[in-house]
Amino acid sequence: MDRITRKTLKDDRFAAEVTHSVSYLTEHRQQALLYGGIAVAVLVIALGIFFYRQQRRTSAHRALYKALETYHALVTEEERPGRVTFKTEAEKHAKAQKEFETLSREFSGTVEGKIGGYYVGLVYRDLGKPAEAQKHLEQAVRDGQENVVALARLALARPGRVRGILECGAAFAVVFIPYLGLNYALSGSLWPNTFYAKQAEYAILRAAPLLERAARVGLLPFVGAPALLAPGLAGAAIRWGREQRWGALLPLGWALTFLAAYIVRLPVTYQHGRYLIPVIPVLAAVGVGGLADLLRLRAPTLLPRVVSRVWTLAAALLLAVFLGVGAQAYARDVQIIESEMVAAALWVNAHTPPGALIAAHDIGALGYFGGRPILDLAGLASPEVIPFIRDEARLGEWLRASGAQYLVTFPGWYPGLTGALAADRVFTTGAPFSPAAGGENMAVYALPGR
pLDDT tens, residue by residue, 185-243: 887 888 888 888 889 889 999 999 999 999 999 999 998 888 999 999 998 898 888 77
pTM across the whole model: 0.64
- Same domain? 442 vs 337: yes
- Same domain? 229 vs 278: yes
Contact 265, 206 (CB under 8 A): yes
Contact 125, 155 (CB under 8 A): yes
Q: Residue 194 is which amino acid?
A: T
The answer to the question of residue 103 being in a domain is yes
The answer to the question of residue 186 being in a domain is no
Averaged confidence pLDDT in the chain: 84
Of residues 95 and 29, which shows the higher confidence score?
Answer: 95
Of residues 370 and 25, which shows the higher confidence score?
Answer: 370
Q: How far apart are CA 308 and CA 296, in angstroms?
A: 6
pLDDT of residue 29: 65
pLDDT band of residue 9 (cuts 50, 70, 90) is very low
Q: pLDDT tens digit string along 164-196?
A: 667 777 888 898 899 999 988 887 888 888 888
Q: Which domain holds residue 133?
A: 62-160
As for how many domains the chain has, the answer is 3
pLDDT band of residue 17 (cuts 50, 70, 90) is low
pLDDT of residue 158: 58
Contact 445, 407 (CB under 8 A): yes
The answer to the question of residue 20 being in a domain is no
Q: Is the pLDDT of residue 348 over 90?
A: yes
CA neighbor of 225 nearest in space, from 316, 117, 139: 316
Q: Is 209 helix (H, G, I), strand (E, B) or coil?
A: coil
Sheet holding 406-409, edge to edge: 374-376, 358-361, 406-409, 443-446, 425-428
Q: How far apart are CA 400 and CA 394, in angstroms?
A: 10
- Same domain? 438 vs 337: yes
The answer to the question of residue 176 being in a domain is no
Contact 205, 263 (CB under 8 A): no
Whole-angstrom CA distances from 312 to 141, 294, 295, 373 are 44, 11, 8, 54
- Same domain? 348 vs 428: yes
- Same domain? 287 vs 214: yes
Q: pLDDT tens digit string along 52-104?
A: 677 777 888 888 888 888 888 888 877 777 778 888 888 888 888 888 888 88
Q: How far apart are CA 53 and CA 5, in angstroms?
A: 56
- Same domain? 369 vs 438: yes
Whole-angstrom CA distances from 324 to 208, 222, 330, 331 are 33, 17, 10, 11
- Same domain? 246 vs 344: no
The answer to the question of residue 121 being in a domain is yes
Q: How far apart are CA 374 and CA 177, in angstroms?
A: 30
Q: Is 252 helix (H, G, I), strand (E, B) or coil?
A: helix
- Same domain? 442 vs 349: yes
Among the ranges given (28-32, 305-309, 380-384), the one the predictor scored with the smallest mean pLDDT: 28-32
Q: Is the pLDDT of residue 28 over 70?
A: no
DSSP type of residue 124: H
- Same domain? 337 vs 434: yes
- Same domain? 289 vs 338: no
Q: Is the pLDDT of residue 12 over 60?
A: no
CATH number at residue 71: 1.25.40
pLDDT of residue 7: 45
CA neighbor of 338 nearest in space, from 330, 445, 270, 277: 330
- Same domain? 116 vs 208: no
The helix (run of H) or strand (run of E) holding residue 361 is: strand 358-361
The answer to the question of residue 399 being in a domain is yes
The helix (run of H) or strand (run of E) holding residue 91 is: helix 89-106
∠ at Cα 325 (323, 328), nearest 5°?
110
| Alpha helices (H) along 210-368 | 210-218, 230-242, 246-265, 270-273, 279-294, 302-336, 343-351, 364-365
- Same domain? 341 vs 442: yes
Contact 159, 341 (CB under 8 A): no
The answer to the question of residue 269 being in a domain is yes
The answer to the question of residue 243 being in a domain is yes
pLDDT above 70 covers a percentage of the chain that reads 88
